[in-house]
Amino acid sequence: MKSVLLRLVPTLLALAWGSGHAALDSPFLASRVASGELPVLAERLPEEPAVAELHGDSSAGKHGGTMRLIFGASKDIRMMMVYGYARLVGYNRELELTPDILRDFEVEDDRVFTFHIRRGHRWSDGEPFTSEDFRYFWEDVASNEDLYPFGPPNELMVDGKRPRFEVLDRWTVRYTWDAPNPFLLPALAGPRPLFIYAPAHYLKQFHADYNEPEKMAAKVDEAGTRNWAGLHTRHNHPYRFDNINLPVLQPWINTTEMPAERFVFVRNPYYHRVDAAGLQLPYIDQVTIQITSSSLVSAKTASGESDLQGRHLNLEDYTFLKQGESRGNYRVRLWENGYGSQYALYPNMNSNDPTWRALTRQSDFRRALSLGTDRGEINQVIYSGLAREAGNSVLPGCSLYREEYAKKWAEYDPDRANAMLDALGLDQRDAKGTRLMADGRPLEIILHTAGEGTQETDILELIGESWAKLGIKLFTRPSQREVFRERVFSGEAMMAMFNGIDNGMPTADMSPGEFAPTAQTQYQWPVWGQYHETNQKVGEPPELETARDLLDLYKLWSLSGNRDERAEIWHQMLSIYSDEVFSIGLVCGVPQPIVVNTRLMNVPEQGTYSWEPTSFFGIYRPDTFWFQ
């Protein structure tokens, strides 16, 4: 019955367009349609558009309006790729993977992935989106040694082997691996999605295989890049939104060239989603983005300059934002933050300092630091007691949560911590009571943060006080994020403070990669992470047995085709990670203020604000938000 209905929907919709398509199209595009610059709506939509499902608290809307956002740096316009959330497959609110850009997809044993493209789907410039775009990416981009010198992206490789790629017809492609590839679909649905397609019709002009060598050389010369690969890459950063000519499939497309202080995004006339009544989404015609200093965002938001703001706001702004509610015509909602820990400390086990490096690799040292941190005080002083004191692990409400993960080594017990430090041979102290390391230097930790506000330094001041009771001196060095990363990667930083794990609400089908050395941006083991990330080309293999165990488990997970087995592996990893305290989590579940214009509809009252898996607002589908 259901399938019959589903099949009927497109027919019904087609009938609806036949009768009065003008009413279904946004008036914003009317003049361009009238002048013949754009085809009528029925010709712009795929034959079977995606129909947005509206949740209990949302309502069908109408076209129009401009949504204003504020970001702290012009490169943040990439957030429009996160918020826009048009993905080949995407998460719904229950965090299940559903087809979105794709009409449908089939998976056999996690090995064979067949993707069905919507017939008649078009890029934002009106050119058809077909299997040629997948072929172009796979054969001409990912497999090209100039463009991808280290081989195709990690998520497309299983055991270092490439998939067999087939074009079944103009609307169907298939990827086949010999072993399971559980990374592919989550990567496609992520906040920074894996792009396995590219607008071939546009990018071919920059590709050496499709141009005569002389012409190519002339183009490269003109652009001033080192080679044709640089030229191609420069024009193909779909995530960054920095090339206004690059065709995309997102709900809104950028019309402002970098650099700018104000960006205007307009609706994509060829977007593939419609609402139940057949109105093409997004409801909102334009999105304008104001770039300002991140410290001014709360002030500007409070004066009503933003219609939807979560970025650069935090709990300490809540009172102030609440005061401005009536003046600024907005409401403040409190969503839950999805970080595994609001902030976590990462002892750099790849530090350049051999004494310190040896120390951080001792489990008991990390445990003692964690035991000697007074989380209760941080919660009370900084978060008014609204957060939860816990280690850096998954959050309650997630199917993988167990209390022991959150509580392990996370209680405040300075006596035990001191005893553990003494047992580690750190029992010598200098005149000021600071412990001495094995080489006689005092145990002074310089902690690097990428902090912009005072919150991080306040937390560190509190931690510094509780660590002083352990005989450890803490110095804080705030720097810009790029500098901060560089210092951690190079081993110059002894310890780093950053957000806890990004995805605090994983399911067993999501990658446990954050709990194993798999990426350079894991600040406790950047070099080991880099080793995995670059397929053993750069970096070093993990030298710590427990870290190796985590990596092995992670690989085991990736080979497993069974959901229960995956959950079991997840639990093993979570248990090791918490017990070894590879990162020292502080508090989690910090409420996140979300400012929503009173006229902006369909933004949920409650939600999880996180990078993964919700892509901030992404899975709540901003293309269905509308202005009353």
509 binds another protein (CB under 8 A): no
Residue in the structure block whose two tokens are 């950047």: 526
Residues 455 and 462: beta-carbon distance below 8 Å: no
Is residue 436 close enough to count as binding another protein by CB under 8 A?
no
Minimum distance from CB of 604 to another protein (Å)? 21
Maximum pairwise Cα distance, the chain: 88
One-letter amino acid at 204 equals K
Q: Which is nearer to another protein, 7 or 441 (CB)?
A: 441
3-class state of residue 449 by DSSP: strand
Smaller CB separation from another protein, 153 or 453: 453
Binding mask 46-85 for another protein (x = CB under 8 A): ----------------------------------------
Q: Which of 211, 363, 380, 499 is the binder for another protein (CB under 8 A)?
A: 380
Q: Which of 583, 612, 421, 382 is nearest to 496 (CA)?
A: 583
The nearer residue to another protein, 194 or 596, going by C-beta atoms, is 596
**Of 18, 32, 203, 28, nearest in space to 127 by CA:** 203
Q: Is 377 in the site for another protein (CB under 8 A)?
A: yes
Site for another protein in 476-505 (CB under 8 A): 477-478
Q: In angstroms, what is the minimal distance from the CB of 378 to another protein?
A: 10
* Number of residues that this document lists for the chain: 628
Residue with Cβ nearer another protein (309 or 520)? 309
37-41 long-range contacts (CB < 8 A, ≥24 apart) are 38/126, 38/269, 39/126, 41/17, 41/280
**Minimum gap (Å) between residue 314 Cβ and another protein:** 10
- For residue 546, the minimal CB distance to another protein (Å) is 31
Q: Answer whether 156's CB lies under 8 Å from 162's CB.
A: yes
Question: Which of residues 293 and 399 has its CB atom nearest to another protein in the complex?
Answer: 293
Specify the residue, 59 or 323, whose C-beta has the smaller distance to another protein. Answer: 323
To the nearest whole angstrom, how small is the minimum distance from the Cβ of residue 472 to another protein?
14
Two tokens, residue 369:
């630091």
> Contacts with another protein in 447-466 (CB under 8 A)?
453-454, 457-458, 461-462
Sole window of 59-67, 474-482, 536-544, 601-609 interacting with another protein (rule: CB under 8 A): 474-482
Q: Which residue has the tokens 């300092």?
A: 353
Q: Are 252 and 287 in contact (CB under 8 A)?
A: yes
How many residues at the interface with another protein, by CB under 8 A? 30
8 A C-beta contact, residue 303 and residue 582: no
- CB 171, CB 128: distance < 8 Å: no
444 is an interface residue for another protein by CB under 8 A: yes
**What one-character-per-residue DSSP string does 151-179 give?**
-S-GGG-BTTBPPEEEEEETTEEEEE-SS
Residue 464 CB, nearest approach to another protein (Å): 9
Looking only at residues 238 through 297 of this chain, which bind another protein when binding is defined by CB under 8 A? 295-296
Please identify which residue in the block is written with the tokens 């790029």: 482
In the bound state with another protein, the residue whose beta carbon lies nearer, of 376 and 425, is 376
CA 321 to chain centre: 26
* Residue closer to another protein, measured from CB, 239 or 320: 320
Per-residue contact flags (x/-) with another protein for residues 294 to 333, judged by CB under 8 A = -xx-xx--x------------xxxxxx-xx----------
- Residue 343 lies near another protein (rule: CB under 8 A): no
From candidates 23, 107, 217, 381, binder to another protein by CB under 8 A:
381
Backbone angles phi, psi at 380, to 5 degrees: -65, -50
Is 475 among the residues that bind another protein (CB under 8 A)?
Answer: yes
Rg (CA), the chain: 26
Residue among 245 and 384 whose Cβ is closer to another protein: 384
Told to check if 606 binds another protein by CB under 8 A, we report no
Looking at 188-196, 232-240, 246-254, 475-483, which segment touches another protein (CB under 8 A)? 475-483
Least gap, CB of 601 to another protein (angstroms): 24
352 binds another protein (CB under 8 A): no
Structure-token match 């064979």, residue found = 112
CA distance linking residue 384 with residue 316, whole number of Å: 9
- Window 393-432: residues binding another protein (CB under 8 A): none
Minimum CB separation from another protein for residue 522, in Å? 24
Using the rule CB under 8 A, is 386 a contact of another protein? Answer: yes
Burial 234-256 (b: 16+ CB within 10 A, else e): ebbebeebbbeebbbbbbbbbeb
Vertex 601 angle, CA 598 and 604, to 5°? 100
Query: 400 and 508 in contact (C-beta within 8 Å)?
Result: yes
- Long-range CB contacts (< 8 A, 24+ apart) of 105-111? 107/185, 109/180, 109/561, 110/180, 110/181, 110/182, 110/561, 111/176, 111/177, 111/178, 111/179, 111/180, 111/181, 111/561
| CB nearer to another protein: pick between 269 and 478 | 478
Select 147 or 462, whichever has its Cβ closest to another protein. Answer: 462
The CA distances from residue 380 to 334, 370, 373, in Å, are 18, 18, 14
DSSP character for 300?
Answer: H
Would you tell me which residues interact with another protein (CB under 8 A)? 295-296, 298-299, 302, 315-320, 322-323, 377, 380-381, 384-386, 444, 446, 453-454, 457-458, 461-462, 475, 477-478
